[in-house]
Chain A
Amino acid sequence: MSTAVVTTAPTTGPVTPARSRHRRGAMRWVILGVITVGGIAMMIPFVIMLLNAFKSPQEYSNAGPLTLPTDLYFDGLINFWNRVDYPEKLWNSIVISGTVAVAATLVSLLNAYALGIGRVRGRLWLVGLFMLANMIPQESLVYPLYFMAKQVGLYNSIWAVVIIFTVIQSAFGTYLLASVLGTFPPALLEAARLDGASRWTILWRVVYPITRPTLSVLMIFFFIWTWNEFYIPLVMLIDNSSQTIPVALAALQGDRLMDVPTINAGSLISLLPAVLFFLIFQRTLTRGITAGAVK
């Protein structure tokens, strides 16, 4: 891939007929249709969720989950919103997920630079070691982390959650980035070096721009994964004022009874910011720069 592929794009010859042969043709519609049907099938559970998010509890119990609500019922959602102070939870979730997304991506980049491009000795084992963070079940981390957090005074603080997830998510990020950077064309690095750049400069001037698509993927994943995390925030965030949305949603589920329509409504509104984030950042995914086209 690094060797320059010299292509002589044919400027002669009829280009249009080939293009029009691609443009027309039922095949593309068929394929689009198949994929879209698949997409619709994927969305069916979401439709059901929508049906129930604005249904009154009476109607839900009597008519079942698969019917359209006869009236739009917002009381459950409004009560929930006020009860858990949803804006506060939303803010906590955004702060935690956003900080983790940025911090973990940064840490991943630094790690992957050393491992993928620097090729420090034993790098594969190091990557594996970092991945340990993803392999260990969270339950087994919880007691030790609780003790440590208490010692440092970070128990019941969102920073404990931020730090923990930065580590856990950056394990994946290190692995993905190191793998991708492992195939980074050395020619580019050497060229920059010839221009007198230091490793630090090379990192930010050469490597960073090219890996933007991968970094975007990491930011999206980290944000969404942290957004939905439940267990560690449950353990670390005691005061209601510091809790995140998934923890707040748990209040709708009691020992033996659960408030299903409100769970649906609450999940729907907590889904929206994450989906929004995805749609916004998705655009950066498509602004890709291929590794071969630089300078």
Chain B
Amino acid sequence: MSTTATTTLPRIRGEVSYWAYLVPGGALFLAIIVLPFVMNIYFSLTRWPGLGDPTFIGLENYVRLFQDEVFWTSFRNSIAMIVAMVVVPTLLGLLLAAVLFDYIGKKFSGSVSSGLRAVYYLPQILPVTVVGILWSWILNPQTGALNVVLRSLGLDGMALNWLGSTDTALPSVMAVMVWVQVGYPVVIFMSALQRVDPELYEAAELDGAGWFTRFRAITLPQIKPETFVVTLTCTIAALKVFGPIYVLTRGGPENSTNVPSYFAYQNFFPKSQVGYGAAIATVLTVIVLLVAAIFMVLQARSERKEAEGR
């Protein structure tokens, strides 16, 4: 919490507590999220095909889940998704945003940097089905653009079975995810960079600081909030990723690209085992919650340090 024990702007007479501002969002949240989640937990303790009445079976679903090998494989693959959707896009996105904003924006014009930003963001606007179709065409081992180009360059040995071989399927999916994801950090970071007071840069420049020193000493600390937000939301997205897996590989080949959300989907609908699917969803949510909690604590600590530094 901040150094002052009381909240900012102590109340004046007749004024509503800050809590009142939370009422609209809070009420909706209770109805749309909390209640369904509690119901979901209830379903996870039952066996239920989705229609009729559920049968209570206690923790049986969870026991079965923890013994399911595919479940553990899918979590291992989640780590790969985190690399592909958090680590690489955040670093790359930060770099791109900085170059576009600081360098290109200044050396050329704002329109050029805006245009390039739009280009990098475009994959985020594309519906997932189409992402799957387009990349399947590119990665098709026999007729796909990638292999055709490689073969025409004489690199036959590199024309691999990208999405069909258990060795290359996961890396291929990861590469597609970087393509999909990188625009998001670019947009957020570019808006963050605008918040930074240019006078800080000028002062540093006068002191003889080069671009990289300025970046490290001024930019990075200033955009800490957005950095936290980007890494946390990308991590959540990585843990929950479903669409691209579904359209590219259906979790295959041989479960090598199966992820928890897809595994949950396989059990929710085709198998009509809503109870089991609910158990998977609950475990997934708990894991995501834990990861998020860690992030939040780190973020809170960093904010506290900031506030104390003032």
Give residues in A with beta carbon < 8 Å to B. 1-3, 5, 7, 9-10, 22-23, 28, 31-32, 35-36, 38-39, 42-46, 48-49, 64-66, 107-108, 110-111, 113-115, 117-121, 124, 126-137, 139-141, 143-145, 147-148, 163-164, 166-168, 170-172, 174-176, 179-180, 182-183, 186, 189-190, 193, 198-200, 202, 213-214, 216-217, 220-221, 224, 227-228, 230, 246, 249, 253, 260, 263-264, 267, 270-271, 274-275, 278-279, 282-283, 285-286, 288, 290-293
**Is B145 a contact of A48 with CB atoms below 8 Å?**
yes
**Is B36 a contact of A145 with CB atoms below 8 Å?**
yes
**Is B268 a contact of A139 with CB atoms below 8 Å?**
yes
A139 to B292, alpha carbons, bound, how many Å?
Answer: 20
Contacts of A186 in B (CB 8 A): 8, 310
Of the four ranges (under 10, 10 to 19, 20 to 34, 35 or more), the interface on chain B belongs to 35 or more
Contacts of B289 in A (CB 8 A): 128, 132, 135
Contacts of A107 in B (CB 8 A): 24-25, 28
Contacts of B106 in A (CB 8 A): 22
**Known: A134-B233, A148-B36, A249-B129. Is A128-B206 also a contact (CB below 8 A)?**
no
- Within the complex, the shortest CB–CB distance from A199 to chain B, in Å, comes to 6
- Within the complex, the shortest CB–CB distance from A117 to chain B, in Å, comes to 6
**Known: A32-B104, A199-B15, A290-B195. Is A166-B264 also a contact (CB below 8 A)?**
no
Contacts of A249 in B (CB 8 A): 127, 129
From B65-73, B159-167, B224-232, B250-258, the one touching the partner chain is B224-232
Contacts of B11 in A (CB 8 A): 199
Among B21, B125, B133, B203, point to the contact of A260 (Cβ < 8 A). B133
* A–B pairs, 12, beta carbons within 8 Å: A31-B104, A35-B104, A42-B179, A45-B123, A124-B296, A128-B292, A135-B236, A167-B28, A220-B187, A228-B125, A267-B129, A275-B125
CB of B200 within 8 Å of the partner chain? yes
**Is A118 a contact of B191 with CB atoms below 8 Å?**
no
A1 to B292, alpha carbons, bound, how many Å?
Answer: 27
- Ranked nearest first, the 8 interchain pairs of A and B with the lowest CB-CB distance are A118-B18, A288-B194, A144-B36, A140-B281, A179-B225, A292-B197, A144-B39, A114-B21
